[in-house]
Structure 1
Amino acid sequence: MQLRDAGAVVTGAGGGIGRALAARLVAEGARVVVNDLDAEACARTAEELGAVAAPGDCSSAAGVEELVDVATGALGRIDVFLANAGIDRTQPDSLQASDEDWAVMLETNVMSHVRAARTLVPRWLEDGRGGRFVVTASAAGLLTMIGAAPYSVTKHAAVGFAEWLSVTYGHRGITVQAICPQGVQTRMLEQAGPLKDLLTRDAALTPEQVADAWVAAGDRFLVLPHPEVAQYYAARAADTDAWLAGMQRLQGKVDEVTGAAR
């Protein structure tokens, strides 16, 4: 992975994994544009890292176009795009999540990636220099997430889109990756309530460790900061019914903790 002097964009970089990815890019010698819906957090990250701030809504078509235009103006060319922005609006009974919550999560966790790729890939193909498109998904996108229907489904879709993108354009110089961590020490984890213990079963990593794992992965499609996820993913594929039975038992334990079984 050649990052020195590369022009890179990181969405959702106001904190957490996004900020750590941006910091690692800067440390590797890349020229970086950071984006976040929170303009103050975006400006703070840019100032602290020596990056360029481009606040805005990266999930909308207009927001993506504006981000790409601003980043291209600042960098000359976008070589690496880290589609890191993601949200979780999970409620205690996620089957009853509103259409609005589903729509917002689909827009941010899936369509933001689609819209960014729709804009960038043709440019990368046209100049023949390729590019790197990185999706921050989740282990929930390979396995599932107890008690979080919209989050699990949208992260599955994010991984599925990244996989399709790799299949379709990988032979034409477009490198695609999906980062799929379990628990990470971010605000989202702190707000997970009773699920926090479940998410930290295999130790919650720092955002910096996730960024390190991405760089260490080279060009591998799946970036698994928690190595255990590879074993879980293989077990799920080898015997899906046994996997589901185990997850159902785990769900039962969560129900006892939350009182949902009563």
Structure 2
Amino acid sequence: MIANSLGVAFVTGASQGIGKAIAMRLASDGFKVALNDIPSKKDQLEAVAREIDAKHGHGSHVVPGDVSQEAEVEAMVKKATEALGGLDVMVANAGIIGPVKPLVSISGDEWDDLFRVNVRGVFLCYKYGAREIIAGGRGGRIIGASSLAGKQGGVSTSAYSASKFAVRGLTQSAALELGEHGITVNAYAPGVISTPMSAPFMGDITKILPPYAKPGEPADIASIVSYLASKESHYITGQTISVNAGIYFD
């Protein structure tokens, strides 16, 4: 482990938006960071890696791959662990939004495609992240991406909402199973956050905001992940933390 490093963090969906903000914040905190996204975003991932190395001087490692493919997840987590010297934090951030349409209009294939990334992808990252953290023998953190939609369903978001509710259940069960290994498992539930992925829907989404609220920024989510990845969060597990400027209260 390099001097002043807090350990190794693995972040999926790290080429842009919330994932990039999380990766940059964890690097700033002192983690070496493995950066994942789909192969078509390899150039963007490499740009993020260069930015991390220039600003923080920590080791970073790019591991493109599809989080919905089990063999790829197993291989990329193993590769990152070997390259950076272990694994302490897994952030299963990657996800997609669509389809945004009424329940009666969603096809089975559209439903399956969304669950393939938002649920299967998180499950596989939890699974192989946990295996590597357990093997390291020093405990760690597993953190997943839920959503405000994972706490409150909405019109034309049934598939997305169901997928994010699933992350909450997975997180609770994993927390119970992995606590004996010194691993906490939590999730974050963003509200309205300005990102490239949410941009096409932002006009409609902002209509749900109360008068005092405004869309959040990726850094607002990264700050919560930073805390959940820290030693100070050791007494918090199985939780899905809302970050939404008072749009919804648990």
- Whether TM exceeds 0.5 here: the answer is yes
Q: Deviations over 1:188-208 (max 9, x none)?
A: 221116532235444211101
State which of 69, 82, 93 in structure 2 corresponds to 1:73: 82
What SS does the aligned partner of 1:88 have? coil
Stretch moving more, 183-192 or 24-33: 183-192
Unaligned runs of 5+ in 2: 54-59
1:177 paired residue number? 186
- Would you say 1:128 and 2:140 are equivalent positions? no
Contact 1:105–1:150 at 8 Å: present in 2 too? yes
Cα separation, partners in 2 of 1:230 and 1:216, compared to 1, 3 Å: farther
Contact 1:36–1:42 at 8 Å: present in 2 too? yes
State which of 210, 215, 219 in structure 2 corresponds to 1:204: 215
- Would you say 1:46 and 2:49 are equivalent positions? yes
**Cα distance in 1 between the residues matched to 2:103 and 2:214:** 25
Kindly state the Cα deviation for residue 173 of structure 1 after the two structures are TM-superposed.
0.9
What SS does the aligned partner of 1:36 have? coil
Which entry has the higher C-alpha Rg, 1 or 2?
1
**Cα distance in 2 between the residues matched to 1:172 and 1:230:** 33
**Cα distance in 2 between the residues matched to 1:117 and 1:216:** 19
Cα separation, partners in 2 of 1:228 and 1:60, compared to 1, 3 Å: same
- Would you say 1:214 and 2:191 are equivalent positions? no
1:6-45 matched pairs, under 5 angstroms: 6-37=7-38, 38-45=41-48
Contact 1:214–1:223 at 8 Å: present in 2 too? no
Contact 1:31–1:75 at 8 Å: present in 2 too? yes
Kindly state the Cα deviation for residue 115 of structure 1 after the two structures are TM-superposed.
1.4
2:241 paired residue number? 223
Q: Deviations over 1:125-178 (max 9, x none)?
A: 344322211001111111223321110000100111011111222243111110
**Cα distance in 2 between the residues matched to 1:174 and 1:193:** 36
Cα separation, partners in 2 of 1:198 and 1:146, compared to 1, 3 Å: farther
1:75-114 matched pairs, under 5 angstroms: 75-114=84-123
Aligned length: 230
What SS does the aligned partner of 2:190 have? coil
Point out the structure with the larger helix share: 1
1:137 paired residue number? 146
State which of 37, 42, 61 in structure 1 corresponds to 2:70: 61
**Structure 1 length-normalised TM:** 0.80
Contact 2:147–2:164 at 8 Å: present in 1 too? yes
Contact 1:58–1:67 at 8 Å: present in 2 too? no
Contact 1:182–1:199 at 8 Å: present in 2 too? no
User: Greater relative contact order (Cα 8 A, min sep 6): structure 1 or 2?
Assistant: 2
**Structure 2 length-normalised TM:** 0.84
Cα separation, partners in 2 of 1:29 and 1:126, compared to 1, 3 Å: closer
Note the aligned Cα RMSD (angstroms). 2.1
2:56 paired residue number? none
